[in-house]
């Protein structure tokens, strides 16, 4: 497993380089002049040119890219054009709130989704199955921004139970985590049900029941281990999606995370921060996929890595 993990880590390098090139070209083709934004609305052309020279934006794109990669290889993501601070420190401030919100959303979504999916599979075509799948379809179909605004209107404005913006206390996590996790819980429930129904039909399950194994042990010891492998793959992708796709929810709830930072950076054409955030999101996806692959061997020891 160690050799397999090292091979996968080395295999990430070409992917990250491709992402780096694409992100660099994307942010430099965005409309607008970051030098003008940094210099201010009252700056004349001479002042703008001085700012552009200081930022290195007057250099040809290949030379700018080479400078960026050189600094990146030394762990330097550059300096924010807006705040004049190191990009690493700017992102580090926002990483914690986004990670905590994502972990909270993922935790309840996994528990609720797995339980709903197992219940729907065990009592398939009965009322628990119909109720679980109805809720799952509703969770998938409802857009997160609309669900967030509905929660704010109901629990913050009408009832006054929960805060709608900020990240000051545990109460602030409830509404945004429910909004982010609703879609994940719905997908998990449907995916778990489909996987369990498929495994329950296998011969080894019928054999276990024929030997007199209790239904609880059949579900937990025989079905669960085999049915969880595709579910874990899906959950890994969902976790990466939550980390990178928290922009809408963070904007709705005024959450001080990486999503709102990315929106602000795009508006200000803050190239270094945009590049740093997208590289971080890409690296998170790759690492999550690696962890998911390694978890296969933990869930089912019969799996061997080459």
Provide the pLDDT confidence category of residue 8 given band limits of 50, 70 and 90.
Answer: low
What integer pLDDT is reported at residue 201 of this predicted model? 74
| Higher-confidence position of 203 and 116 | 116
The pLDDT of residue 244 is: 64
Of the ranges 77-86, 233-242, 255-264, the best mean pLDDT one: 255-264
Q: Quick check: 225 pLDDT over 80?
A: no
- The per-residue DSSP string of 172-227 comes to HHHHHHHHHHHHHHHHHHHHHHHHHHHHHTSHHHHHHHHTT--HHHIIIIIIHHHH
105, 222 contact by CB (below 8 A): no
**Under 8 Å CB-to-CB from 244, ≥6 apart: which residues?**
281, 284, 285
Q: Which CATH architecture has domain 94-299?
A: Orthogonal Bundle (1.10)
pLDDT in tens, 157-200: 888 888 877 777 788 888 888 888 888 888 888 888 888 888 77
Query: What are the residue boundaries of the structural domains of the chain, listed by start?
Result: 2-73, 94-299
Q: Where are the alpha helices (DSSP H) in the chain?
A: 2-28, 34-39, 45-55, 61-73, 87-122, 127-141, 144-151, 171-200, 203-210, 215-217, 224-244, 247-253, 258-267, 271-299
| Main-chain phi, psi angles of 79, to 5 degrees | -120, 135
**Cβ–Cβ contacts within 10 Å for residue 196, how many?**
25
pLDDT band at 302 (very low <50, low <70, confident <90, very high): low
Instruction: Measure the CA–CA gap between 149 and 243, rounded to whole angstroms.
Output: 20
DSSP labels, 33-60: -HHHHHH-TT--HHHHHHHHHHHTTTS-
Phi/psi at 59 (5° precision): -80, 155
Per residue in 42-82, pLDDT (tens digit) is: 777 778 788 777 777 777 888 888 888 888 888 788 788 77
Residues linked to residue 79 through DSSP beta bridges, in sequence order: 86
Percent of the chain with pLDDT over 90: 0
Bridge-partner residues for 99, per DSSP? none
Tell me the three state secondary structure of residue 79. Answer: strand
Nearest to 26 by CA among 302, 299, 271: 271
């Amino acid at each position: 497993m160690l050799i397999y993990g090292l091979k996968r880590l080395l295999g990430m390098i070409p992917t990250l380089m491709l992402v780096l090139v694409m992100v660099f070209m994307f942010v430099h083709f965005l409309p607008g002049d970051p030098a003008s934004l940094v210099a201010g609305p009252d700056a004349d052309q001479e002042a703008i040119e001085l700012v552009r020279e200081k930022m290195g934006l007057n250099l040809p794109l290949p030379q700018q890219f080479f400078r960026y990669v050189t600094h990146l290889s030394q762990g330097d993501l550059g300096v924010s054009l807006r705040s004049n601070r190191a990009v690493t420190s700017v992102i580090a401030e926002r990483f914690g709130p986004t990670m905590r919100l994502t972990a909270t959303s993922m935790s309840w979504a996994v528990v609720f989704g797995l339980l709903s999916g197992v219940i729907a599979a065990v009592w398939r075509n009965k009322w628990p199955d119909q109720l679980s799948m109805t809720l799952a379809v509703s969770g998938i179909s409802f857009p997160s921004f609309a669900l967030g605004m509905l929660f704010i209107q109901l629990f913050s404005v009408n009832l006054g139970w929960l805060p709608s913006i900020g990240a000051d206390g545990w109460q602030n996590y409830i509404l945004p985590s429910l909004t982010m996790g609703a879609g994940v819980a719905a997908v998990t429930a449907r995916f778990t049900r489909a996987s369990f129904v498929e495994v329950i039909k296998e011969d080894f399950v019928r054999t276990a029941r024929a030997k007199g194994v209790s239904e609880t042990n059949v579900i937990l010891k025989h079905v669960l281990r085999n049915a969880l492998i595709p579910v874990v793959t899906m959950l890994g992708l969902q976790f990466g999606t939550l980390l990178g796709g928290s922009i809408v929810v963070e904007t709705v709830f005024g959450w001080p995370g990486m999503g709102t930072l990315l929106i602000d950076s795009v508006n200000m054409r803050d190239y270094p921060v945009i590049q740093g955030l997208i590289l971080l999101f890409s690296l998170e996806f790759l690492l999550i996929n690696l962890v998911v692959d390694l978890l296969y061997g933990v869930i089912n020891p019969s799996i061997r890595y080459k």
